[in-house]
Chain A
């Protein structure tokens, strides 16, 4: 078990010079790659047994002014989850699709586009809306979007009366 983890770390270090890893829990590995390395690293991971893409998601680091894309890969034979992270600019978020490596990522990319605004070149469906219909405000999952203010303005809240006939505790 730990054999395969150290094997994996060794291979990644040898081919791509990745040396910083986080291991938050057993059989899980997190590491960062640069934008230009990402497609090579993913194709390499697929060839060594990480055949399934579990999730593609995005984190909005508003202080550092970047979006961080996280690809979560799974190897069923050894039981290792690998999380591959890369950063994209927040003001002009563009990236390439990986649909030719993992076809299942098509709808995940539409999801990230719809909620964060990241454009994926090569995924021709990614501009079409999926979960939200007729949405004209800002992308909802960004940290500067306030859902409560939007809900109050567009849908209205139920008004409750705030003056009561008697005060609790006397008088």
Chain B
């Protein structure tokens, strides 16, 4: 009789204060321990891959940032890299540096948001208040540069849309100095906090042997294998080979180590941004036209290509197929959190507790819109 009452089916559903984004995990629970878990994606599904086939190449630049809501610039970057490689055009020098600056600013903003998001599952709401306020100052800088806070539509095939406004680099360096002064406070709040230690030390491990089998990339891979497998070092794009930075790694992947690595990556991104401010060319064109001038009538030559960049969650790529017409034939999106959000939840959540499910999503990096597309 008591066997039948032992396991309960529970939905850690979409409407939950500790859940990140519109995602759901269905599980069988025995007390607090999870016995079986299955992810339930698809609640943010909009059919992007079908919609992209129905729009012109340049019209797609307005649609694609919406695939990954938290870090929209990586979508524009991989699309632009793919189209440029198929069309065979070279981007001017200043555009590469501006692109790198935008990608690193987006990386700092997203890591801050993720560190703030730890406040929901653990109860340390102070981190959310501090981190979201800091991230808002970066969004102000984006607004000065591109005109919008969240969806920028700035990196396009051929370069970037416009040149930098005046005094932008001074504003950026003032902001970086003020952020560096606040980082020790964040460290004391998040990394040395006894509650965080109790919740995350030796908890929700990712074993080293399964990293390649699952296809996990990004922080999950670097914290388990101990090798600097980062696309910015292995296959550099956009002048990453001309700046110096380290890639933090570890060999023991529990949740606390992954939070440490996120923190270290913010510091490395600040280091890259300082070098970009010094080395940015003062003048030069920022955009070259594709085709003969009318942006809405460009035709990309036929071919297939797969381009990828390193996002905060791992390898993010687009597989573009063109048949020579003015609309894409097929674009497939490789979301960086697909492995850890789907197979990772099915295999590595059983054995942990209910309150660890949102922590897995936060530390490994699971962004639900890029799984559902």
Contacts and interface: CB of A to CB of B under 8 A. Distances in A.
- Given a CB threshold of 8 Å, the question of whether A touches B is answered with yes
Interface of A: 22, 24-25, 27-28, 30, 51-55, 57, 59-60, 70, 72, 74, 76, 79, 81, 83, 102-104, 106-108, 115, 130-133, 140-141, 145, 147-148
Identify which of A53, A57, A106, A108 gathers the most chain B CB atoms within 10 Å of its CB.
A57
B166 interface: no
Interface residues of B, number: 38
8 contacts: A22-B304, A24-B85, A55-B319, A55-B334, A76-B234, A130-B41, A147-B54, A148-B54
A68 to B, nearest CB: 9
B338 interface: yes
Contacts, number: 88
Interface string B307-332: 11000000101010100000001101
A39 B26 CA distance: 33
A53 B321 contact: no
B42 A54 contact: no
A165 to B, nearest CB: 33
Contacts of B279: none
Contacts of B49: 115, 141
Given A54-B308, A76-B234, 10 more contacts: A52-B212, A52-B215, A53-B215, A55-B319, A55-B334, A57-B319, A72-B306, A72-B334, A74-B315, A107-B343
A30 B308 contact: no
B231 to A, nearest CB: 8
B317 A51 contact: no
Contacts of B229: 76
Nearest to B307: A25
Nearest to B51: A147
B79 to A, nearest CB: 14
Interface of B: 41-42, 45, 47, 49-51, 54, 85-86, 212-215, 217, 227, 229, 234-235, 303-308, 315, 317, 319, 321, 329-330, 332, 334, 338-339, 342-343, 372
Identify which of B54, B227, B315, B330 gathers the most chain A CB atoms within 10 Å of its CB.
B330
Nearest to A129: B42
A54 B317 contact: yes
Contacts of B215: 52-54, 102, 104
Q: Which 5 A-B pairs have the closest CB atoms?
A: A131-B42, A104-B215, A51-B212, A57-B332, A24-B305
A55 B42 contact: no
A88 B33 CA distance: 44
A52 B329 CA distance: 26
A72 B333 CA distance: 12
B235 A79 contact: yes
B235 A140 contact: no
Interface of B, secondary structure class, is: mixed
Contact of B332 (A51, A55, A79, A102): A55
Given A59-B330, A74-B315, A81-B308, A22 B50 contact: no
Nearest to B344: A104
Interface of A, secondary structure class, is: mixed
Contacts of B306: 28, 54-55, 72, 81, 83
A55 B49 CA distance: 15
Contact of A55 (B213, B304, B317, B321): B317
A153 B319 CA distance: 31
Contacts of A141: 49-50
B48 to A, nearest CB: 11
B50 to A, nearest CB: 6
A131 B41 contact: yes
A70 B42 contact: no
B42 A133 contact: yes
A3 B45 CA distance: 42
Contact of A131 (B45, B214, B217): B45
Nearest to A102: B213
B304 A24 contact: yes
A4 to B, nearest CB: 12
A24 B306 CA distance: 9
B235 A27 contact: yes
Identify which of B86, B227, B306, B329 gathers the most chain A CB atoms within 10 Å of its CB.
B306
A81 B234 CA distance: 11
Given A54-B334, A72-B306, A102-B213, A59 B51 contact: no
Contact of A103 (B42, B217, B234, B343): B343
B202 to A, nearest CB: 25
Contacts of A140: 47, 50
Contacts of A70: 304, 319, 332
B304 A103 contact: no
Contacts of A55: 306, 317, 319, 332, 334
B42 A22 contact: no
B245 to A, nearest CB: 18
Contact of A25 (B85, B227, B372): B85
A12 B358 CA distance: 44
Contacts of B342: 107
